[in-house]
């Protein structure tokens, strides 16, 4: 494990010379955080590794075993498509190196449970970076401190442009529900994770899902390709404290994609609105107590360690890397881990089972 006297060394699996989420998200986010830095990378082949090494100036490997064996790597980041997570995460854990995996952790619940079990005492982290968002951390505190009184309900409406509109060839795999990278996992799950963070975990759920568009055009040619992933997800459930949560996530929005959450309580109301992915983009908060008028509320500056990144997709991810750094150095448990990822996968599994049976389903929380 890295000493506090030197930065945490990061090795990114999936950092390509040709861009992608690792290059556009992970690398600039961790670069913005003191005490953590890129030390190595791994790609799928020796030739792509050489190309990436020339771009980023760090040792490059063509296997996860090699990057995990690098003595300068204290954290392996798996930033590739979810169908490849298992084969990359397990060797790093076997080597005893902490792992940050992009969300979703796995293609399904059994695989997520396997990966969490394989971690043992090795620190793990999951890419649900919305939990590090300054605004949502403040919102969770605001609610827990009684701004709205007792929470009675939370109503969520969200829309995504994907899963119905033309898709790039590299994104076709997200249309296949068996590959684990669908609207349910990529868009709905991070949003409901934030809802749960603010108003509490769901103990049960009733769900209705549908695939309204069974074919989607390729953006390059217009050719229709099949879609089995759900593009309509509607749930209702009860939190551990008894509040009612309802959420409807719609795919293939031709306009107006975004996120909205209204929290009603015995003494007040909060309204949260934002872009399509609230775990990545900025949100606006309005609140009212009693019969007072709704006004915009702004988080205290103390919540934001990276104000220069506010309004960008790097903002929450930089805060997530700062939390991971602190967990590794100080042995705290701030950032969400694989155990938390399993909880989210259990909720998604309960939603799928409820939608299939039409029955209220326990989430296991």
Mean pLDDT of 248-263: 95
Mean pLDDT of 336-352: 98
pTM: 0.96
What is the rounded average pLDDT for all residues in the chain? 96
Task: Judge whether residue 218 has pLDDT over 60.
Answer: yes
Tokens 């950032």, residue? Answer: 335
Q: What is the reported pLDDT for 5?
A: 64
Helix axes 109-119, 85-94, angle to 10 degrees: 10
Mean pLDDT of 108-119: 98
Q: Whole-angstrom Cα distance, residue 86 to residue 84?
A: 6
Listed by start position, the domains of the chain span: 8-122, 133-305+337-362
What pLDDT digit, counting tens, does each position of 21-78 carry? 999 999 999 999 999 999 999 999 999 999 999 999 999 999 999 999 999 999 999 9
Q: What is the reported pLDDT for 3?
A: 43
Task: Judge whether residue 343 has pLDDT over 90.
Answer: yes
Q: Which CATH class is domain 8-122?
A: alpha beta
Question: Which CATH number applies to 133-305+337-362: 3.20.20.105, 3.60.60.10, 2.60.40.10, 3.30.360.10?
Answer: 3.30.360.10
pLDDT band at 1 (very low <50, low <70, confident <90, very high): very low
pLDDT band at 365 (very low <50, low <70, confident <90, very high): confident
Q: What is the reported pLDDT for 256?
A: 85
């Amino acid at each position: 494990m890295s000493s506090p006297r030197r930065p945490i060394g990061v090795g990114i699996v999936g950092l390509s010379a040709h861009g992608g989420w690792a290059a556009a998200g992970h690398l600039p986010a961790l670069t913005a955080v003191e005490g953590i830095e890129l030390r190595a990378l791994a790609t799928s082949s020796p030739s792509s590794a050489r190309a990436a090494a020339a771009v980023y100036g760090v040792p490059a490997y063509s296997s996860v075993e090699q990057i995990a064996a690098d003595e300068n790597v204290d954290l392996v980041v798996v930033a590739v498509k979810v169908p490849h997570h298992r084969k990359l995460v397990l060797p790093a854990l076997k080597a005893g190196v902490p792992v940050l995996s992009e969300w979703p952790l796995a293609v399904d619940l059994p695989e997520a449970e396997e990966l969490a079990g394989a971690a043992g005492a090795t620190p793990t982290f999951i890419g649900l970076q919305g939990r590090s968002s300054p605004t949502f951390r403040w919102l969770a505190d605001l609610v827990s401190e009684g701004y709205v009184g007792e929470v009675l309900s939370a109503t969520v409406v969200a829309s995504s442009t994907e899963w119905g509109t033309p898709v790039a060839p590299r994104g076709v795999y997200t249309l296949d529900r068996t590959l684990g990278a669908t609207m349910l996992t990529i868009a709905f799950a991070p949003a409901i994770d934030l809802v749960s963070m603010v108003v509490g975990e769901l103990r049960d759920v009733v769900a209705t899902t549908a695939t309204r568009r069974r074919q989607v055009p390729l953006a390059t040619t217009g050719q229709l390709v099949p879609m089995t992933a759900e593009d309509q997800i509607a749930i209702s459930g009860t939190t551990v404290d008894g509040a009612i949560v309802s959420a409807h996530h719609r795919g293939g929005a031709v306009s107006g994609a975004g996120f909205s959450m209204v929290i009603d309580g015995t003494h007040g109301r909060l309204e949260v609105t934002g872009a399509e992915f609230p775990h990545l983009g900025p949100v606006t908060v309005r609140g009212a107590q009693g019969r007072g008028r709704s006004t915009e509320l702004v988080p205290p500056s103390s919540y934001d360690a990276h104000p220069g990144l506010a309004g960008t997709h790097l903002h929450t991810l930089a805060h997530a890397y700062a939390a991971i750094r602190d967990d590794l150095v100080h042995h705290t448990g701030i950032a969400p881990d694989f155990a938390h990822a399993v909880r989210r996968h259990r909720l998604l599994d309960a939603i799928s089972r409820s939608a299939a049976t039409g029955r209220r389903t326990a989430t296991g929380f």
